[in-house]
Amino acid sequence: MLSRIQDIGKSGGLCIDKDSFELVYKQFWKKLYYLAYQKVADSDLAQDMVHDVFRSIWERREELVISDSIEKYLVRAIKYKISGYFRERIQQERNMEASLLYVTESESVTEKQVAYNLLSTELNLLVEKLPERCREVYKLSRENGLNNREIASALLVSEKTVENQITKALSFLRLGLDKYRNE
C-alpha cells in the first residue's frame, strides 16, 4: 500500500485514505520525531511538531499534491516546522527584549517624573516661606530669568541688595532641600 502512495505521489497527486495514512504515520513517525528532537531537544515539542505535520496532511488529503516521495515530503515538512519554530522563538525573544527595554525606560521615566514633581512641590513650598522681598527677588531671577541689574532696576534697589537676597534665598532653599540630596 505504501508503494502505491509513493507511486501516486510521484505522479502528481495523492489521494490518501485512513488506512494509507495510518501506514505512513507508523512508518515515518519515529524518523520525523528524531529529526525534530535533535533540533529542539524537547520531547513534547518534537511530538507536537510531528503531530502537526501529520494533522496538516490529513486535513489537506483531498487536495494535497506531492511531487517527490512521501518520505522526502515528510522530512521537508518537519524541517520547515522546525525552522518556523526557531523563527517564531527568535521573534518572541526580540519582542521580549523590546518590551523589557520599554518597561525599564518607562519605569525610569516615571520614577524620575515622580521625584521631579515631589522636589518641585517642595521647592515651591519653600519659596513661599521666604520673606516677601527675598521671594520677589528669587522669582524674578529664577522664574523670570532676569539678571541682577534688571532686578535692581525693577525693584529700585542696588545690585548688591539683589545679590544678597538671592544668596539668602538659595541658602534657605538648599537647607530645606538637603533631605533630598542622597535620594
Q: Each residue of 27-45: pLDDT tens digit?
A: 999 999 999 999 999 999 9
**Residue 121's pLDDT is what?**
87
Which of 2-11, 83-92, 104-113, 142-151 is predicted least confidently? 2-11
pLDDT band at 94 (very low <50, low <70, confident <90, very high): confident
For residues 76-90, b (16+ Cβ closer than 10 Å) or e, as one string?
A: ebbeebbeebeeeee
Average pLDDT score over residue span 36-60: 94
Strands (E), the chain: none
Distances (CA, A) of 173 to 59, 112, 182: 76, 21, 16
Q: Domains in the chain, start-ordered, CATH in brackets?
A: 2-95 (1.10.1740.10), 130-180 (1.10.10.10)
Asked if the model's pLDDT at residue 51 lies above 50, the reply is yes
**Three-class SS state of 113:** helix
85 close to 49: Cβ distance less than 8 angstroms: yes
Of 98 and 25, the structure prediction assigns the larger pLDDT to 25
